[in-house]
Amino acid sequence: MLFFTLLLEVIWILTANGGRYIWVSVCPHGQDHWPASYPECGSNAQSPINIQTDSVTFDPDLLPLQPHGYEQPGTEPLNLHNNGHTVQLSLPSTLYLEGLPRKYVAAQLHLHWGQKGTPWGSEHLINGKATAAELHIVHYDSESYESLSEAAQRPQGLAVLGILIEVGETKNPAYEHILSHLHEIKHKDQKTSVPPFNVRGLLPPLLAQYFRYNGSLTTPPCYQSVLWTVFHRRAQISTEQLERLRETLFSTEEEPSEPLVQNYRAPQPLNQRMVFASFIQGEMLSLGVGILVGCLCLLLAVYFIARKIRRKRLRNRKSVVFTSARATEA
Ligand SMILES: *[C@@H]1O[C@H](CO)[C@@H](O)[C@H](O)[C@H]1NC(C)=O
């Protein structure tokens, strides 16, 4: 019986077709049991993590990421799917990222969220704080691998963009392209198609500031194959949009209906890993400015003191010349 429950709890199928993960579990909340069937879930470079901004390392070589083809992802409708674990939008490989060691092409995007009455739902935390939800845009190294499923098991085979989503004042029209179709795929395994839209709109406006680290898939089999980019800036959706994300979907095919909520993984230990930042933090910046101002003040002080000393010497010399001139006169 225990074996049976465990089996149901952790069976994931990596489909060859497009390499999408399909959750076939009856219990999506058994994170603690993942390592029992997927040893990599208990390994030492897992995701998500808590990003502590005072212990990240500034790396000046981390250039702004450039998403290509995001504005117009083809003319064909995109497939939107409730897989019982998340809502996932398939993306064509004409979307790709520049600014990483190799060319990474897009495969899919999906969301993580919490449940009604709680303010959190994101997987990554910044300084211990979660936001309401998180978007993941999954890419794979198309220079080295044929498919997402092949790349998913290799170091840095995947590049995932993590976008923290918070609640703002206004409705976000880009997210609406996904959220307005959720009612068509309420139950697990339902699919619908969505007209292509500007995917760039789902990202925060500023892409230059991000954190970078080596991590894993946040769902079984937790392969440690992901080069993570978590943006510093957040995207915003309205309260009403967040409510729809949290309250429309079910993780089950039919009755009894189980709401699809709280599909985020708890933060994992950082262990020996480094987290890099593409930018200098606010505190670091003010520290730098402070030091600069301090140096300038010191320089000015030295300059004025030196000038005073020189004048004094000059005056002394003049008076010496004056007195000696008088002496010759006499
Ligand atoms: C990720 O791991 C590889 C291999 O160990 C290493 O070369 C690279 O610098 C790491 N990257 C980051 C962002 O930590």
Question: pLDDT for 91-104, tens place per residue?
Answer: 999 999 999 999 99
Same domain as 189, residue 79: yes
Same domain as 207, residue 312: no
Same domain as 195, residue 57: yes
Q: Give the chain's domain count.
A: 2
Contacts of 173 (CB under 8 A, 6+ apart): 201
Q: Which atom of ligand 1 is found nearest the CA of 213?
A: 13
Same domain as 303, residue 275: no
Question: Which among 214, 222, 216 is positioned nearest to 34, based on CA atoms?
Answer: 222
Residues making up the chain, counted from first to last: 330
In a domain, 38, yes or no: yes
Contacts of 299 (CB under 8 A, 6+ apart): none
pLDDT at 279 over 60: yes
- Strand positions, DSSP E, the chain: 12-14, 21-23, 50-51, 57-58, 66-68, 78-82, 87-90, 96-98, 104-113, 125-126, 133-141, 158-167, 191-194, 210-215, 226-231, 235-237, 276-277
Same domain as 227, residue 301: no
CA of 274 to the centre of ligand 1 (A): 9
Distances in whole angstroms, Cα of residue 193 to Cα of each of 144, 190, 237: 30, 11, 22
Is 85 an active-site residue? yes
pLDDT at 12 over 80: no
Q: Which atom of ligand 1 is found nearest the CA of 273?
A: 14
CA of 268 to the centre of ligand 1 (A): 18
Confidence bin at 148 (pLDDT 50/70/90): very high
pLDDT at 198: 97
Nearest CA to ligand 1 atom 3: 214
pLDDT at 214 over 90: yes
Name the catalytic one among 33, 81, 85, 136: 85
Question: Which among 195, 205, 201, 136 is positioned nearest to 172, based on CA atoms?
Answer: 201
CA of 233 to the centre of ligand 1 (A): 23
Digit-coded pLDDT (tens) for 85-140: 999 999 999 999 999 999 999 999 999 999 999 999 999 999 999 999 999 999 99
The sign of the CA dihedral 190, 193, 199, 202 is negative
pLDDT at 191 over 60: yes
Taking residues 12-16, report their average pLDDT: 31
In a domain, 20, yes or no: no
Same domain as 268, residue 138: yes
pLDDT at 3: 43
pLDDT at 305 over 60: yes
Q: Which atom of ligand 1 is found nearest the CA of 276?
A: 13
In a domain, 9, yes or no: no
Q: Which atom of ligand 1 is found nearest the CA of 212?
A: 13
pLDDT at 29 over 70: no
- Strand positions, DSSP E, 64-222: 66-68, 78-82, 87-90, 96-98, 104-113, 125-126, 133-141, 158-167, 191-194, 210-215
Digit-coded pLDDT (tens) for 225-270: 999 999 999 999 999 999 999 999 999 998 788 999 999 999 999 9
In a domain, 1, yes or no: no
Nearest CA to ligand 1 atom 2: 214
Pairing between β-strand 57-58 and β-strand 158-167 as defined by DSSP bridges = unpaired
Is 7 in contact with 95 (CB distance < 8 Å)? no
Q: Tell me the sheet residues that pair with 327.
A: none
Same domain as 106, residue 144: yes
In a domain, 310, yes or no: yes
Q: Phi and psi of 209, rounded to 5°?
A: -105, 110
pLDDT at 157 over 50: yes
pTM to 2 decimals? 0.80
In a domain, 14, yes or no: no
In a domain, 254, yes or no: yes
Same domain as 315, residue 267: no
Nearest CA to ligand 1 atom 1: 214
Higher pLDDT, 285 or 195: 195
Q: What is the mean pLDDT of the chain?
A: 87
pLDDT at 18: 29
Same domain as 236, residue 177: yes
pLDDT at 207 over 90: yes
CA of 276 to the centre of ligand 1 (A): 10
CA of 266 to the centre of ligand 1 (A): 23
CATH code for the domain in which residue 204 is found: 3.10.200.10
pLDDT at 15: 29
Same domain as 298, residue 202: no
Cα separation, 84 vs 100, in Å, equals 32
CA 319 and chain centroid, separation: 73
* DSSP 8-state code for residue 64: P
Same domain as 239, residue 320: no
Tell me which residue range forms the domain holding 312.
292-324
> What's the longest Cα–Cα distance across the chain?
124
Same domain as 165, residue 118: yes
Q: Which residues line ligand 1 (CB under 6 A)?
A: 212-214, 274, 276
In a domain, 11, yes or no: no
Query: Which of 211, 214, 274 for a ligand 1 pocket mutation test, highest count of atoms within 8 Å of Cβ?
Result: 214
Contacts of 78 (CB under 8 A, 6+ apart): 89, 90, 91, 92, 193, 194, 195, 196
